[in-house]
Amino acid sequence: MKTIILGSGTSTGVPMVGCHCRVCRSTDRRDRRTRTSLLIRTDAGKNILIDTSTDLRIQALREQIGSIDAVLFTHTHADHVNGIDDLRGFHFIHKRLIPCYGTTDTIGRLLATFPYIFKGLETEGYAPLMEAFVSEAPFDLFGCRVTPVPLVHGPTSSTGYRINDLAYLTDCNAIPEQSLTLLAGLETLIIDGLRYTPHPSHFNIESALEVIARLQPRRALLTHLTHEVAHLDGERLPAGVELAYDGMVIE
Ligand SMILES: [Zn+2]
Ligand SMILES: [Zn+2]
Ligand SMILES: [Zn+2]
C-alpha cells in the first residue's frame, strides 16, 4: 500500500489569497499547500481517495492519477467536498459509478447538496458519477481493512479512517475514548495539526503532539496546516513526527 498526501493545507490553502506573510511568500515548494486530501494506492493498484478537496483537479493532474476507484468522505465542510465535480473526467474515461462511503449524516448531506452527482440530470444529459454507501462499521475495500473512526470537530463531527495500519484523522479537536481503542498499534498516523495558536475545532500542533504521544505510532505526520507554520519549522518537532507536504509519499 502506498499513500500520497494530495493536499496538506487548511481550508484557505497556502498561500492564502491576499496574504503576504513569510510563509505565503516562501519559495519552499513544501509551503505551497492545496486543500487537505489523501490518496491510498492499494497493492492491487486500486486508488482510494479520501475527500474530494476543492483542489482535486490540480492534485490529480500533479500526481498523474489515472482513475479513482472509491472515495471515503470525512465530513462535508466545503474544503473537503467542493471538488466533487472534478471526478467527472475520470467518469468520462472509465464510465463506472464511483462508490463513496461516509456516515449517515455525511452521505445525507452529500445527496442533498449534490443530487446530480448521485442521480444524474436527465434533462441535461448528465450521467450519475457516484454511488453512496453509509459505512459506520469496519469494512473491506480492495483487500484493505477500512475502519471509520468517529472524531469531534468543534460543534460538529468528522470521521477519521484507519486503513490497515495507517490512520488519517483530519479535521478534529478531540478523539472520543471509544475511538482511541480503534487506533492501537499504528504504523503511521496522519493527524490535523493546523497551527500553533489554539482553535475551537482543530487540534493545534501542541495538542496533536499529545495525541501522538498517547497513540505512539511509528511515524506521525501533521496536516491541514495554515500559513502560521513554515515547513522548515518541522525540524523542531520530536523524533518520528513530521509536517506533511503536498506530494509526500508514504510507502
Ligand atoms: Zn478542513
Ligand atoms: Zn500568509
Ligand atoms: Zn472541517
SS (H, E, C) 161-196: EEECCEEEECCCCECCHHHHHHHCCCCEEEEECCCC
Give per-residue burial for 222-247: e unless 16+ CB within 10 Å, then b: bbbbbbbbbbeebeebeeebebbbbb
Q: Which residues surround ligand 2, an ion (CB under 5 A)?
A: 19, 21, 24, 227
User: Which ligand is nearest to the Cα of residue 35, counting in written order?
Assistant: 1
pLDDT at residue 32, rounded to an integer: 98
162 CA to middle of ligand 2, Å? 32
CA of 117 to the centre of ligand 2 (A): 34
Predicted TM-score (pTM) of this structure = 0.97
Ligand 2 center from residue 76 Cα (angstroms):
25
| Distance in Å, CA 202 to ligand 3 centroid | 8
pLDDT at residue 124, as a whole number: 87
Ligand nearest to the backbone CA of 25:
2
Tell me whether residue 137 is exposed, middle or buried, using C-beta atoms within 10 angstroms of its C-beta: 0 to 12, 13 to 18, 19 or more.
exposed
Cell numbers at 145, concatenated? 481493512
For residues 149 and 62, is the Cβ–Cβ distance under 8 A?
no
Ligand with an atom nearest the CA of residue 224: 1
Averages of pLDDT over runs of 10 residues in the chain (251 residues) are 98 98 98 98 96 98 97 98 96 93 98 97 90 97 97 98 98 98 98 98 98 98 98 97 98 91
Measured in Å, residue 16 CA sits from the centre of ligand 2 at: 6
Give tens-digit pLDDT for 53-96: 999 999 999 999 999 999 999 999 999 999 999 999 999 998 99
Would you call 99 exposed, middle or buried from its count of C-beta atoms within 10 A (0-12, 13-18, 19+)?
middle
Each residue's pLDDT tens digit, 5-22: 999 999 999 999 999 999
